[in-house]
Amino acid sequence: MTDQDLRAALETLQSFLAASASGDREGMQRALTRASIADGSYDNPPPPELALVPGTPRKDGARVLIPMRLMPPGAPADAPPIATFTSVLVLEDGGWKLDVIATREQASPEMDALANQMMQQMGEALGGAMQQMGDAMQQMGQALGEALGGAGAPQSNDDDDENSADARRG
């Protein structure tokens, strides 16, 4: 495999990304393996406010692997990515084609780790929010009890005896 092969594979990936961003299904299909087209799961680009940024292609046997970074909008090149994965390109019909199935298989552990990290962060955030809500509700209950003159507070039997005696006298 030559440097020209690496450049050609990168160009194929870039043409797929451009076609995907513009909704050009035929353009996407020209860059895909036959199996990827038959699979049909290639037509789900990231939200337009996010960018997929390819890295430097490298050889992997007969395949070309291209690291990808999912970046927030307007992020500088050295900003940390939201997610990373590796695109897999193979020679098919005399040209480099994106193998979405192999890319998905390659990305699965990375995406699983990202999903787990996001769920953990969400759980921590929700746990903190729930604790704050509980504290706020407790404070509201105390304030309401004070505003109502302790109406919700248990009274002793001594008070009941005095109130009964007052009622009998009055």
pLDDT single digits (tens) 5-24:
999 999 999 999 999 888 89
So what's the pLDDT on residue 96? 97
**Total domains in the fold of the chain:** 1
- Residue whose structure tokens are 């160009």: 11
Residue 34 counted as domain residue: yes
Q: How far apart are CA 168 and CA 170, in angstroms?
A: 6
CATH code of the domain in which 39 resides: 3.10.450.50
Q: Strand, helix or coil at 107?
A: helix
Q: How far apart are CA 33 and CA 97, in angstroms?
A: 5
What is the band of 163 on the pLDDT scale with cuts at 50, 70, 90? low
Residue 123 counted as domain residue: no
Residue 116 counted as domain residue: no
Contacts 24+ apart (CB under 8 A), 72-75: 73/49, 75/51
pTM: 0.61
Residue 146 counted as domain residue: no
- The CA dihedral of 49, 82, 79, 89, to the nearest 10 degrees, is -90
Residue 48 counted as domain residue: yes
Q: How far apart are CA 10 and CA 158, in angstroms?
A: 87
So what's the pLDDT on residue 113? 59
Is the pLDDT reported for residue 132 higher than 50?
yes
Residue 86 counted as domain residue: yes
What is the extent of the structural domain holding 17? 3-106
Residue 61 counted as domain residue: yes
User: Mean pLDDT of all residues in the chain?
Assistant: 78
Q: Nearest 5°: phi and psi at 11?
A: -60, -40
So what's the pLDDT on residue 153? 46
What stretches of 23-166 adopt beta strand conformation (E)?
Answer: 51-54, 58-60, 63-71, 83-92, 95-98
